[in-house]
Amino acid sequence: MTIIVGHDSTKTRKTLKVGDQSIAYYSIPAAQAAGLGDFTRLPAALKVVLENMLRFEDGSTVTTDDIRAFGDWAKNGGHSPREIAYRPARVLMQDFTGVPAVVDLAAMRDGIKALGGDAQKINPLNPVDLVIDHSVMIDEFGNPRAFQMNVDREYERNMERYQFLKWGQSAFNNFRVVPPGTGICHQVNLEYLAQTVWTDEDQNGETVAYPDTLVGTDSHTTMVNGLAVLGWGVGGIEAEAAMLGQPISMLIPEVVGFELTGAMTEGTTGTDLVLKVVELLRAKGVVGKFVEFYGEGLDRLPLADRATIANMAPEYGATCGFFPIDNETLRYLRTTGRDEARIALVEAYAKENGFWRGADYAPIYSDTLSLDMSTVVPAISGPKRPQDHIALDKAATTFAQYVEGERAGKPANEKQKDRWEGEGGQPAPREIPGDVGHHRRGFVACVDGSEPYQLHDGSIVIASITSCTNTSNPYVMIGAGLVARKARALGLNRKPWVKTSLAPGSQVVSAYLEAANLQDDLDAVGFNLVGYGCTTCIGNSGPLEPEISKAIADNDLIATSVLSGNRNFEGRISPDVRANYLASPPLVVAYALVGDMNVDITRDPLGQDQNGNDVYLKDIWPTTQEIADLVEQTVTREAFQSKYADVFKGDEQWQAVETTDAETYDWPINSTYVQNPPYFQGMSAEPGTISNISGAKVLAVLGDMITTDHISPAGSFRVDSPAGQYLSDKQVPVREFNSYGSRRGNHEVMMRGTFANIRIKNEMLEGVEGGYTKGPDGAQTSIYDAAMAYQEAGVPLVIFGGEQYGAGSSRDWAAKGTNLLGVKAVIAENFERIHRSNLVGMGVIPFEFTDGDTRKTLGLKGDETVSIEGLEGDLKPLSTVPCTITYADGTVKTIQIKCRIDTEIEVDYVRHGGVLHYVLRDLAKS
């Protein structure tokens, strides 16, 4: 592709000699020599953004004053109010968020033609890679046929989506699709797509080198920060705008420095480290900020561990968690098969332009904190949030306390009697090891005709090695294999009620597990390959055995899962599981062997060997040296080169997917997966104005930490839900419902799924979980049905929320669905970064309470009427405006709320009805 660089009025364009190549670049030292500021001690993460300003400085969207502001940032101790226009080099997508983005692009082609424009104007200007990784579901597990059967079901369920994506690949420029079964987008990005330093030709045909940067339609895009590639998650809406050449409007961020010292101790893993980092940074408060890691501890931190920490940036709330370029970066690039000329360029460019982390690296940071890695202990986190760190030796006690809290005030369950009683000589239930105390809620389940087992609060029914976070890390994956090997040798196996699975983030993982002969050991304890994708971590854990699922529901059990993922929000992992714990892959294997969260696996036996001797965790835990030796032997450059040689080709099933070849998409009328969305239909050539909100009713009053999973769930849904009823009306059998995530190309399904998480609690209704509210008549009804009734009556809606509203995934449907339900404003205590941006991008205005007001201090019940003034006319970013609340008894109270339209360009987005409307009108005029 061709990059359109600025006119270089700052005279910062220089030439870099690398081997026999001469490559142009934009020099930060030259900008400093030109008197534009002192950039010497800027953090490397911020220098990436500064270079972007130098390269695109054109006197209008990027000015010399924007560049000078970076020098002011350093002088002001890491603070600046400056708004800048940032242009990432490329865009990364996964299919759950990518399909609706491509749907929007297809709809924009229809829309621009309706406005008299050229459909070819709707084309990505920057490279876009979409990796299909979210669709595989674990229907089959624990046997050698699991992988192929799950792949076959994936194609059966998703053929319409795959046909559509193949159409997009041929219809749009700069758009590539990585087929199913390849790996998880972030791991494919880390291992193959990312280059650390990117090159392209400019408009004059000259090759230019610059930092590799991106945005992605998945919050864990940050993983590639471990490779010194600046990237973060945005909603599909913002990503589409970036694809079409729209710069990302942002404030120069604060950069929090996180110093790592010391070294990890024997028995701890990179997962233990990242769970501690998440706890510390979430407590620190880094929402909307960059975090950069520095310190002598980095000299002993492999890039795989860095990527694990960077991956979890959304969990600690930061925009990104960045690691500068150093010798470890070069080592990883070489191991993963990058071209030697590229590695030489990375080193030369980083040292020449001030990005290299050497012994003298000592930036200025906005704030700092420190961690001695030798203090890190084995840990898990949960049961509902990634930041809830639990030292492993406290896990059983903490779980018992959690159950006590959940059970407090609840009547005793009367359904606990032995099911086999009186059924003619069935064997007695076998006790599960561990003292589960007063909160046991036993019942007997019989699975596949096997011996009956007693389950109770804390029984682990899912143990999954999954997600981009950990399966990219060979140290923890080899560690898991060695735990399986030692357990197998002693005769231990998974408990039969545990659904086990192994879903690597790339095919390279399988290559080194097989090279080490560890896959056989994992198979032996139930961790057979089930697919290459996100699986359990995204909610695609698949169904439990019907007997277990029914027994959990009948007895109101607090069943648990243990997964090596990055998310454990309520209702995400499985509808049957209420407590979810994040853990390292070796611990996932260990917990599968014991099958019970009530067992203290640091002290209690995991089981008995063939001779009846107790086996403890220490007996099967590998040493650091054992792991390192196997990594050195089996994780090879040749394996990466082999597995990525034909990464875009796919298997025979992908190659057989048929599609059309047309400029615009021929929307299939009867498709339940892909429908033309209503956003651009009947759109006028000129924008409207921002109006005050008058006489709005309350659709929901929500609590703290309402995640985008609560707002727009990704997993399965019931037949009696509004989405299920819609599909049933379309003659779709329940077996073919698939998931909300897979149906994001159909707005009819997604509207009905908005605020439909089975664990969401609307405070308008006491003691009710799920997507319910009060309709216009005051009776309980689904949120979707209430919203449609209000829309028909022409009544606007508002949502009230608490702290960290919109935490979690970057999914744009959390904002799209909110918009389509007729919600005009969301008023919360504060917002997570991506969801706030997504709301603005869909024309929904986010507001924050001020002066200590909250939904609780105001006594909001949901029967109030809300009006918001001060939005008409010349609305300024971050304005404080009056909000009048009329209570049901006629009492009127006016409060001040802060409008979280943060920048001038965002004011324009809302005026146009959304960022895509803004871009579409602009392209139609051009």
Find residue 260's DSSP bridge partners. 371
pLDDT band at 443 (very low <50, low <70, confident <90, very high): low
pLDDT at 374 over 80: yes
pLDDT digits (tens, 9 = 90+) for 852-861: 999 999 999 9
- pLDDT confidence band for 85 (50 / 70 / 90): very high
Interatomic CA distance for residues 264 and 874, integer angstroms: 55
Is 16 inside any structural domain?
Answer: no
The verdict on 364 and 404 lying in the same domain is no
pLDDT at res. 442: 59
Q: What is the pLDDT of residue 439?
A: 52
Cβ atoms 186, 570 nearer than 8 A: no
Please state, rounded to an integer, the average pLDDT across all residues of the chain. Answer: 92
Instruction: Output the pLDDT for position 417.
Output: 33
Amino acid 925: pLDDT: 87
pLDDT at 503: 95
Question: Collapsing DSSP states into helix, strand and coil, what is residue 454?
Answer: strand
- Is the predicted pLDDT of residue 422 greater than 70, yes or no? no
What pLDDT shows up at residue 44? 98
* Through-space distance between the first and last CA atoms of the chain, rounded to whole angstroms: 21
The domain total for the chain is: 3
Residue 605 has pLDDT above 70, yes or no: yes
Give residues with Cβ within 8 angstroms of 306, minimum separation 6.
226, 227, 293, 298, 323, 328
> How many Å apart are CA 917 and CA 759, to the nearest integer?
34
- Does residue 530 sit in the same domain as residue 631? yes
> Does pLDDT of 461 surpass 60?
yes
Please answer whether residues 122 and 155 qualify as being in contact, where contact means their C-beta atoms are separated by less than 8 angstroms: no
Query: Residue for token digits 């965790």?
Result: 617
6 pLDDT tier (thresholds 50, 70, 90): confident
Cβ 600 vs Cβ 740: under 8 Å: no
Regarding whether 365 and 218 lie in a shared domain, the answer is yes
For the record, the structure tokens of 653 come out as: 């099933």
Confidence of residue 452 (pLDDT cuts 50, 70, 90): confident
For residue 433, the model assigns a pLDDT of 46
Name the pTM for this structure.
0.86
Measured distance CA(460)–CA(558) in Å, rounded: 9
Cα atoms in the 13 Å half-sphere on the side-chain side of 771: 28
Q: Return the CATH number at 847.
A: 3.20.19.10
SS3 774: strand
437/289 same-domain check: no
Q: Say how far apart CA 860 and CA 858 lie, in whole Å.
A: 6
Q: Are residues 398 and 355 in the same domain?
A: no
| C-alpha–C-alpha distance, residues 392 and 783, integer Å | 40
Structure confidence by residue, pLDDT tens digits, 115-157? 999 999 999 999 999 999 988 889 999 999 999 999 999 999 8
Query: Domain of 159: which CATH number?
Result: 3.30.499.10
Query: Does 54 reside within a domain?
Result: no
Which bin fits 365, alpha (ψ -120 to 50), beta or left (φ > 0)? beta
Tokens of 926: 């051009």
Q: Are 404 and 368 in the same domain?
A: no
3's CB contacts (< 8 A; 6+ apart) are 200, 201, 202, 203, 208
- Give the per-residue SS3 of 148-207: HHHHHHHHHHHHHHHHHHHHHHHHCCCEEEECCCCECHHHHHHHHHCCCEEEEEECCCCE
From 7-11, 129-133, 603-607, 667-671, the region with the lowest mean pLDDT? 7-11
Is residue 896 a part of any domain in this protein?
Answer: yes
Confidence of residue 204 (pLDDT cuts 50, 70, 90): confident
Q: Are residues 101 and 222 in the same domain?
A: yes
Is 672 a member of any domain? no
Closest CA to 833 of 704, 708, 744, 701: 708
Tokens of residue 580, six digits:
């979810």
pLDDT of residue 449: 63
Give the pLDDT band of residue 395 (cuts 50, 70, 90): very high
- Do 324 and 200 lie in a common domain? yes
Taking only the tens place, the pLDDT of each residue in 630-685 is: 999 999 999 999 999 999 999 999 999 998 889 999 999 899 999 999 999 889 99
Residue 440 has what pLDDT? 53
Q: Are 837 and 812 in contact (CB under 8 A)?
A: no
Residues 468 and 338 in one domain: no
Per-residue pLDDT at 571: 80
331 shares a domain with 183: yes
pLDDT band at 441 (very low <50, low <70, confident <90, very high): low
Q: Are residues 112 and 155 in the same domain?
A: yes
Taking the mean position of all CA atoms in its chain, how far away is CA 146? 26
Q: Write down the pLDDT at residue 421.
A: 34
Q: Which residues face 197 on adjacent strands?
A: 211
Q: Is residue 446 very low, low, confident or very high in pLDDT (cuts 50, 70, 90)?
A: low
Confidence of residue 471 (pLDDT cuts 50, 70, 90): confident
Label each residue of 803-851 as H, E or C: CCECECCCCCHHHHHHHHCCEEEEEECCECHHHHHHHHHCCCEEEEECC
- Provide the pLDDT for residue 448: 61
> If 0-12 CB within 10 Å is exposed, 13-18 middle and 19+ buried, where does residue 339 land?
exposed
Confidence tier at 113 by pLDDT (50, 70, 90): very high
Q: Return d(Cα 26, Cα 198) in angstroms, integer.
A: 13
pLDDT at 416 over 60: no
Checking if the pLDDT of 426 tops 60, the result is no
**Strand extents, DSSP E, 494-576:** 499-502, 560-563
Query: Cα 379 from chain centroid?
Result: 22
pLDDT tens-digit map of 155-164: 998 999 999 9
pLDDT tens by residue, 99-111:
999 999 999 999 9
- Predicted local distance difference test score (pLDDT) of residue 745: 93
Q: Which of 605, 471, 542 is nearest to 561 (CA)?
A: 542
Whether 667 maps to a domain, the answer reads no
Query: Which of 613, 639, 665 corresponds to the end of one domain?
Result: 639
Q: Which of 221-225, 311-315, 739-743 has the lowest mean pLDDT?
A: 739-743
**176's tokens:** 């590539």
Q: Are residues 363 and 442 in the same domain?
A: no
DSSP conformational letter for 430: B
Provide, rounded to the nearest whole percent, the portion of the chain with pLDDT above 70: 95
**Percentage, residues of the chain above pLDDT 90:** 79
Residue 652 included in any domain = no
Q: Supply the range of the domain harboring residue 595.
A: 394-411+425-639
Q: Has residue 674 been placed in a domain?
A: no
Q: Do the domain assignments include residue 722?
A: no
